[in-house]
Amino acid sequence: MNILSSVLSIIFFFIMVAVIYSQFRKTKTADSNKTVEQFDGIDEKDAPIPKVFFVAYLIAFIGAIVYVLLYPSLASWKGFIGWTENDDAYVAKSIDINNNINAIINANTDEQVFTLLQKDPLVLQSGKSLFGDNCSACHGQDAKGQYNYPSLVDKDWLYGGSPQDVYTTIHNGRKGKMPAWKGVLSGKDIDELTQYVSELNKGPFKSNALFDANCSSCHGKEAQGSHSVGAPNLTNDIWLHGSTNADIKRNIENGMYNEMPDFGQRLSRNQILSLTSYIVSLQSEPQDNIDIMQANTYIFSRNEQQLPAVLTTCVACHGADGLGTLPGAPKLAGLKQAYIYNQLHLFVSGLRKNATMQNIVADLDVKDKLLAASYFSSLDSPAISKITPEKSADGIIKDPTERLIFQGDWQRAIPACSTCHGQETQGSPSFPRLAGQSSDYLEKQLFDWRTGDRTGDQGHMMQNVVNKLTDDEIKSLSKYLSKMK
């Protein structure tokens, strides 16, 4: 097919050259003084085609030949300069940041990783173009934000401005919720609070009993805000939702819900790292933001000798790459931070029973659990290729196991696994990835739901599914999912 189209291209090329050349020859002998026809007083002369057209054609033909010789355009012939699609400027950029970032990540600590990323112009450039494509619609081309969308260049952070905070914001998304106070507080109290809040940015801090009782739990004792719930600092001149007394009153009365979408499934780790570096580079003193990171953290850096104690325990079974070393220990790479954290919590509370894991997590404090969750969620999980199951004429998937995964069984009210776990069961913000997890592990989990050793899934979503599956189905599903790559 390729050869045929190449041969035809060459034949057409010569036919075109021949046509142009013969036209040129034919009209060369034309006589511009001779009238060939007359109509309504207009003479049509027998003029030759102007030479400039011929020259233009000649240039176009030569250009086409040069192009064909240099670039791949005929069958599988690659052209003389060995150009490939990867040489395209846009593609080359993402390939290069992967090499650059992977090399940088082998630095000792996160602090060093982010300091080095700041110095890599290609990483910052790729962050900038990713920002233009994914973020500028809400945060503005210059990242200075707009009404309801925070500025990312000032020092006023809702969730913290260290590279780890910014990475977590982009990877997991954020939901800022401020409850409505209408009906909870009296109109008089709301007026008093409106007045109080609007004057917080003037003069030294003065406390207020109503604020202490109702607002300081989120906004902080001195109204400085809190990164853990994303409550803004109310003592400066920066207002996300309006600065007039009427705005402030409306916001207190009605409350607010503001959402930053999560990009963990849409962008790769390295893309999020380059975005994070770009945002940090926009700060007036980027190094300040890096310095506020906890000293000696190893969430992004990859130096196995230097892993913090808590992770050294985990990687013995789950692997430093999160792909599992011990049979029975699941792959954790790329699972969502919130999912991992929640599972650790379920082991502590006993809602999920497993002697090994319960012993290990019993000693962990919140900080350790968060560190472990962010470490494993930041690791890359293997790609999965698209699956196209064979269907019968009426559109029903033929293989019963594939049918359960991609279409479900509506007679038994079993939703497709893919509706929750994602089209290729690659996982989504709220549901873990199944593809490529070991068959023994998957099977054990499904039977654990049956026996009640695993509970705590929100709304009993999985328990409801498992209760409708037969033992044989559980086994064949586990085998099939483990082979998906």
Binding mask 95-134 for ligand HEC (x = CB under 6 A): ---------------------------------------x
Query: With contact defined as beta carbons under 8 Å apart, do 283 and 289 qualify?
Result: yes
- CA 216, 222, 227, 230 torsion: positive or negative? positive
Q: How far is CA 60 from CA 16, 20, 147, in A?
A: 12, 12, 53
Stretch that binds ligand HEC, among 48-56, 82-90, 289-297, 351-359 (CB under 6 A): 351-359
Query: With contact defined as beta carbons under 8 Å apart, do 151 and 143 qualify?
Result: yes
CA distance 135 to 441: 38
Stretch that binds ligand HEC, among 7-15, 63-71, 102-110, 321-329 (CB under 6 A): 321-329
170 binds ligand HEC (CB under 6 A): yes
Residue type, 173: G
Nearest-approach distance from CB 240 to ligand HEC, in angstroms? 4
Q: How far is CA 157 from CA 28, 337, 453, 469, 473, in A?
A: 77, 21, 42, 48, 49
State the first-to-last Cα distance of the chain, in angstroms, to the nearest integer: 31
Nearest-approach distance from CB 91 to ligand HEC, in angstroms? 20
Stretch that binds ligand HEC, among 83-91, 114-122, 385-393, 439-447 (CB under 6 A): 439-447
Which tokens sit at 378? 């930041």
220 binds ligand HEC (CB under 6 A): no
CA distance 428 to 450: 24
Q: Which of 107, 152, 299, 379 binds ligand HEC (CB under 6 A)?
A: 152
Question: Helices (H), strands (E): how many in the chain?
Answer: 22, 4
307 binds ligand HEC (CB under 6 A): no
282 binds ligand HEC (CB under 6 A): no
424 binds ligand HEC (CB under 6 A): no
Q: Which residues contact 192 (CB under 8 A, 6 or more apart)?
A: 208, 210
Nearest-approach distance from CB 342 to ligand HEC, in angstroms? 6
Q: Which of 166, 200, 273, 293 binds ligand HEC (CB under 6 A)?
A: 166
Which tokens sit at 441? 């592990």
Nearer to ligand HEC, 105 or 311 (CB): 311
169 binds ligand HEC (CB under 6 A): yes
Nearer to ligand HEC, 81 or 461 (CB): 461
Nearer to ligand HEC, 124 or 446 (CB): 446
Residues between 233 and 252 with contacts to ligand HEC, criterion CB under 6 A: 234, 239-241, 248, 251-252
Residues between 460 and 479 with contacts to ligand HEC, criterion CB under 6 A: 461-462, 465, 477
Which tokens sit at 477? 């599903």
Nearest-approach distance from CB 372 to ligand HEC, in angstroms? 4
280 binds ligand HEC (CB under 6 A): no
Residue number of the CB closest to ligand HEC reads 176
Taking residue 382's Cβ as centre, other Cβ atoms within 10 Å add up to 14
Query: With contact defined as beta carbons under 8 Å apart, do 86 and 95 qualify?
Result: yes
